Each structure stands twice: as structure tokens, then as C-alpha cells.
Amino acid sequence: MRVSSEDVAQRAGVSRSTVSYILNGHGDRFSQATREAVERAVAELGYRPHSAGRALARGQSDLVLLVLPISPNSQFSQMADRLTEALAEHGLSLLMCSSTASARSFAAVLTTARPRAVIALSQLSESKRTVLRSAGVRAIDIAHAISQPGGPNWSVGRMQAEHLMRRGYRRIAYGRLTEARDDVLLGAREQGVREACQAAGMGEPQVITVALRADADLDAIGSLPLGTGLACYNDDTAAAALAAARVIGRAVPEDLGVVGVDDTPVAAQTSPRLTTIGFDLPVSYDRLAQLLLHHDPADTEFADMGECRLIQGEST
Amino acid sequence: MRVSSEDVAQRAGVSRSTVSYILNGHGDRFSQATREAVERAVAELGYRPHSAGRALARGQSDLVLLVLPISPNSQFSQMADRLTEALAEHGLSLLMCSSTASARSFAAVLTTARPRAVIALSQLSESKRTVLRSAGVRAIDIAHAISQPGGPNWSVGRMQAEHLMRRGYRRIAYGRLTEARDDVLLGAREQGVREACQAAGMGEPQVITVALRADADLDAIGSLPLGTGLACYNDDTAAAALAAARVIGRAVPEDLGVVGVDDTPVAAQTSPRLTTIGFDLPVSYDRLAQLLLHHDPADTEFADMGECRLIQGEST
DNA sequence: GCGCGTGATTCACGCGCGTGAATCGAGAGC
DNA sequence: GCTCTCGATTCACGCGCGTGAATCACGCGC
């Protein structure tokens, strides 16, 4: 239930103007008692001014735009730009916010921007889901959608494992990322690896954690038996694994096979060159825009199979 | 000069309601002639509905929030999160948009979100500057601010060059990034290198371009005389240079010294380990928030010296 | 008792837009 | 000529808020 400054005024027993004045730094005109009453009412009701009203009255909103140089190679950058253009054709504007910001500031953004929808490329935490629900804002969780069993990320994992087996590795391991905020993606990829192992009659894959910090990663890589094929969460993880293997003297691809995901530039620069899996996000930007304009997009509509392609390097 | 639906109505010789109906997909109620008149007026005046009014009337804005998983190691991610929190305490919300999106969609974002200010971490193109100016939105160009002569980025370049000289390289080269959207940053760093060379009585540094694509980079690295110290724009550029050097058989650090900038995780994973320069953005987030609330921040206020620190690797 | 400041509070308008309900106008039917 | 219908257009309200101007209450000096 939306709470307006009218509600606050009523509860504090004053007029709406008084509330507005006090909340906008002109409180010195009022008595101590009035100020306190208003502030108490605000706190009790959890009032936050409606951004559109504010913006309309003042002529400018409370948004601050941060223009970020997203690396031009990143999948995200491409996606953001295409989405921006696709949405613009339908009169919608795309803004971004960091997925690592706190749930509280996320809530603030929601009540300030009051967006038509939220698209999440990384999994939304439970607290943010709650915030979204109570704000009545529709969310499209792409990470979740493309991580269904049988979906693209799952296929990526399967492809990694099957490739490693084809190259003759008889033990398979999985390299997780420590700071795995992208739980769903990781889960789906790992699950794909796991099922491929089962299908081939191998045991459960050994799972190690890669921290992207040399000191911490040496032990993890060292714990892998010779002849292991390591499927990594992404290219960064794989690159870190390669670096650790080099330090502790594991020969790649002989003693250890490594395969990444994403086909980022880093894959082409490692030594030996990384085998990786390129992978287009199976999202039709225009369709996404259409869905945002209408209603109730089922998440599963995005679970179409994306194209995965193996890029053979020298690490397997 | 703001153009409202009233202006459009007047020009088309109809009422404001008619304009509103036609623009919101209820045009079938009107005659062909009226529709065309309205559309012509819209086009001629370049009318775009004011988002706040729309949002107020409809209860939701035309913004779409994209929640991006920004890599947790990136400087930008940290900055975005800290800024988000700092601004939240002052009732402001931080949203991001891609710096690589078109100027047209940037204009759309501005007129839709009507933000209080724009903070740019990458240099703003001239067309975007124009858009900002005509929208009357204040912009704080941090990239520009920290790229003043004598400022942090300039110091980074100097430090790179001086380090290379200290390590005994008698020729200095600079490795630019091809897709250098961050012109100012690059320019300042390169200029720092250039001036350090002059100060030491060396000639102009040789400048090469690194494309982050193996095939293209081999020639560039091959063109460097033995004994060159290569100062690179950033760690990615440096990592690509190292990869190219390995392929064409240049010994690092003997034949070629390489130093990067940013102290990213990639620097710790190259072989040999990259020498790099760590570098904190000299921005006080809270001060930035304060400035946004008041007025007329001089860009130069951010040009305080940041802390640069040399991280010695094995590549120099 | 009356006018007069002065501090405290409220009135009332407008920001730009979307939309249900009302109005208008012209032609059809009697 | 008068009503009735129906397509075309406009009226008028409200969304939530900020703020200049008006109002109010109250104590003071004469």
C-alpha cells in the first residue's frame, strides 16, 4: 500500500505542506514539536516521497546517472547496448544498477525510479526478490531462465565434460568460482557436467573452488590427480587454474586438461591457449522489449537453446 | 526549451487530450486527418512526453532497470557500490547506463529519467556533451578530471616510464589500446610517459597499438627493438603484449619489459607475472554526493593526487 | 481595546500527463 | 422539423509533490 505525504500529514496532525516543508530542509520555520511529530510519522509509516511527483514539481528527478565504460568485449556490454536500442524503439529506457549493491539501496532505487520492469542478468538475492514483490515491480530473471535443466547453461556444462572425455581425460573435476554470486548459472553448468559424468558411467566429479588469488588456488589445483580434466565455471576461473598449474609444475594439457566458458579475450592470451566454449545469450532483445510492454512474461520463454560452440585451444 | 503536449496540441489545432490519446495507441478513435496533423506536429517540434508527468499519471515510469553482475574485482564495481550507498544517504539513487550506447538513446535516457546529474567515468563523446548541455543536465566528467596534466593518470604514466628506466631499459615504448574509448585516460597516461622520457633526455617513445587479438598484435610487438621497455595502457593491454611476445619468441623481461596499470587479477596470472601500477580513484564518494546536492562542482576538485603504488612482477 | 509585528501553519496553484465521462456535430430515420 | 445515433473531439479530474503567498494565533506596546 502506497503511503503519500497526505498520510504522513494526517498521522502527524498537520497539513501536507508542513510535511513537505519539513522534509525538504525548511523545518526551521516550524516548532520543535511539529518537526518531531512529522519525523515520527514518517518513520512509522516508512514514507518515501514519490519520485514522479517530486520530479514533476521540481523539474528534475533524484536520479543520478553513472556512465560506465563497460569493456567492449564483454557479453554484458553487448547485451546492454542492444537492449538499450531495442527498448528505445518502444519508448523505454534502459538503466543499470550494480547487482552487488545492498538490498536497501536497491529498494531505494525501486521507489525512486519506479521502473516498469527489472531485468536481472545475475540471480537476485531473496531479499531483493522480496523488495521487488512488495513494490509490485515485475522482474525477469534471465540468469534463472537460461539455467533451467536442459537449458543453455546446462548444455554448456555437458559440452565441457563431453569434450574432456573425448580428449581422453578419465577423471573430471569442476572448478567453481569462490565469489559465486551467479549461483544459478554456476549451478546449471555444474549440473550439466555432473550429468554428463553420470551418463558416461563415471563417478561424481571432484569439485574445487578457485579464488582468482594465486596463493589460495595452488592447493586446489594441487589436489587434482594427474590426468584430470577440469571444467571451469568461466574463462577467468580457467585462466587462474592455468596460472596455478604452471606454478606447481602441472603440465597442461598432459597432466591436466582445462576448459573454460565464454570465449573472452583472456582465453586467447593464456599459455597454453585456453579451450573454451562460446555461448550466445539466447535472448531476442526485441521480443524482450515486446514482453515488457505487454504483460506476464513467463520466465521459461527465454529458455530457448542458445548456440554453444567449442573453441579448441591447447589446454585440452 | 521544453515542449509539452500542450504545444503539440496547439500546433496541430486540437486539444491536449487528442494528442495524448493518439500518442498512447488510442488513435483509432480519431479521423485520419487529425492523426496525421498530430504526428506531424510531434515530429516538427521534436516532442517527447515528460517522464515525470507520465509516471505520475500512470503510476509507473518508462524506465527499465538492468541489474548487471559487474565483476566484483573491478574498480568500477567498487566505485558504483560505494557511490550508490553514499548517494542513498542523501536521498539520491544511482543508476548506470552503458557508455557505448548511441547518443540518441542517451538523449532518450536523459529526457526520460531527467536525472539530477550525470557522472561519467569514461570520456563523454562530443555528441553526448551536446545532448547534456541542451538538456541542461550537469555532468561531472571524472575521467577528464583525473586526467589533468599533473593529475593521477599523468603520474601513472610517469611512474611506468621511470620504473622501466630504473630497470635498465634504454628505449621506452607505449602500448595503446585500439578501441580507446577512454581517450582522455589514455592520453594522460601516454603524456606522462612522454614527459618522463623527455625529462630523462630520451627521445619520443615509440607508440604501438594493441588490439587484444593475437593475430594483429604479433606485428606490433615484433616491431619493438630488443631491450625496449613497454608501458601499457592497462593490464589487459599488457597481458596481450605478453602473450604476443611469447608467441614470437621475445624473452620477457630480458628482451622486452612490460608494465601495466590497474593491478587487476589478470596481472597476477600472466606468465611471467606482470609488473603493474595499482591506482585508487581519488574520489571521495561522500564529497561527490554533497556536490551533487549543491551546485556547480568544478571538475578540478577531483584532480587531487590519487595514490599510485608499484606492484613489482617478473615482467620488468 | 486596538493595531501590529512575528512566528507557525495552511492555502492554493501548477508541474505534464492519461483517461472516463461528457459534449458536439452531422447525418439518418420518421 | 425533430429526435436519435454514433463517430469525433474535448472536459475535467487526479496522480503526488514543492512552494510563494496568504492566513492564523498570540503577545506586546500604547
Strand pairing partners for B230? B173, B258
Whether A206 shows a pLDDT value over 90: the answer reads yes
* pLDDT value for A232: 95
Sign of CA dihedral A107, A113, A114, A118: negative
Q: Of the segments B22-26, B27-31, B41-45, B252-256, which one has the largest average pLDDT value? A: B252-256
Asked if B93 and A109 come within 8 Å (Cβ–Cβ), the reply is yes
Whether A139 shows a pLDDT value over 50: the answer reads yes
Q: Is the CB of A20 under 7 A from strand D?
A: yes
pLDDT confidence band for B131 (50 / 70 / 90): confident
Any A CB within 8 A of B280 CB:
no
* pLDDT value for A145: 75
* pLDDT value for B178: 78
pLDDT confidence band for A301 (50 / 70 / 90): very low
User: Searching chain A, which residue's CA lies closest to the CA of residue B139?
Assistant: A65
* pLDDT value for B25: 83
Whether A303 shows a pLDDT value over 70: the answer reads no
Whether B248 shows a pLDDT value over 50: the answer reads yes
Bigger pLDDT: A205 vs A119? A205
DSSP 8-state symbol, B89: T
* pLDDT value for B305: 47
Question: Rounded to the nearest 5°, which phi and psi values hold at B211?
Answer: -105, -5
Q: Of the segments A101-115, A276-290, B229-243, which one has the largest average pLDDT value? A: B229-243
Prediction pTM value: 0.77
Any B CB within 8 A of A294 CB:
no
DSSP 8-state symbol, B195: H
pLDDT tens sequence across A176-191: 987 665 566 777 899 9
Asked if B116 and A63 come within 8 Å (Cβ–Cβ), the reply is yes
Asked if A65 and B95 come within 8 Å (Cβ–Cβ), the reply is yes
* pLDDT value for B276: 95
**Which residue of B23, B51, B54, B65 to mutate against A (max A Cβ within 10 Å)?**
B65
Asked if A265 and B97 come within 8 Å (Cβ–Cβ), the reply is no
- Complete DSSP assignment for B100-130: TS-HHHHHHHHHHH--SEEEESSPPPHHHHH
Nearest-by-Cβ selection for A70 from B50, B56, B100: B100
Domains annotated for chain B, with CATH where assigned, are: 5-49 (1.10.260.40), 60-146+282-305 (3.40.50.2300), 152-280 (3.40.50.2300)
pLDDT confidence band for B298 (50 / 70 / 90): very low
B112 burial via Cβ count (<10 Å: 0-12, 13-18, 19+): buried
Cell of B128: 553526448
pLDDT confidence band for B281 (50 / 70 / 90): low
* pLDDT value for A300: 37
Whether A125 shows a pLDDT value over 90: the answer reads no
What is the spatial distance, in angstroms and rounded to an integer, between the CA atom of A111 and the C1' atom of D12?
Answer: 29
Left, alpha or beta for A91 (phi > 0: left; psi -120 to 50: alpha)? left
Q: Measuring from the CA of residue A16 to each C1', which nucleotide is nearest?
A: C10
B272: three-class secondary structure by DSSP = coil
* pLDDT value for A1: 64
What is the spatial distance, in angstroms and rounded to an integer, between the CA atom of A30 and the C1' atom of D29?
Answer: 26
Asked if A72 and B100 come within 8 Å (Cβ–Cβ), the reply is yes
pLDDT tens sequence across B62-81: 888 888 777 666 667 778 88
Tell me the angle at which helices A214-222 and A235-248 cross, rounded to the nearest 10 degrees.
80
User: Searching chain A, which residue's CA lies closest to the CA of residue B246?
Assistant: A271
Which protein residue's Cα is closest to nucleotide C14 at C1'? Answer: A57
Any A CB within 8 A of B50 CB:
yes
pLDDT confidence band for A278 (50 / 70 / 90): confident
Peptide bond preceding A253 in cis form (omega within 30 of 0): yes
Q: Which residues of A touch B66 (CB under 8 A)?
A: 80, 83, 94-97, 118-119, 121
Q: Please give the average per-residue pLDDT across B132-159, as a whole number.
A: 82
Contact present, A152 and A282 (Cβ < 8 Å): yes
Positions of strand C less than 7 angstroms from a protein CB = 7-12, 14-20
Name the average pLDDT for chain B. Answer: 84
Q: Please give the average per-residue pLDDT across A196-207, as a whole number.
A: 92
As a residue count, chain A comes to 316
Nearest one of B279, B311, B177 to B236, comparing CA atoms: B177
Interface of A with B in 65-104 (CB under 8 A): 65-73, 76-77, 80-81, 83-85, 87-88, 91-102, 104
Q: Please give the average per-residue pLDDT across B101-109, as a whole number.
A: 86
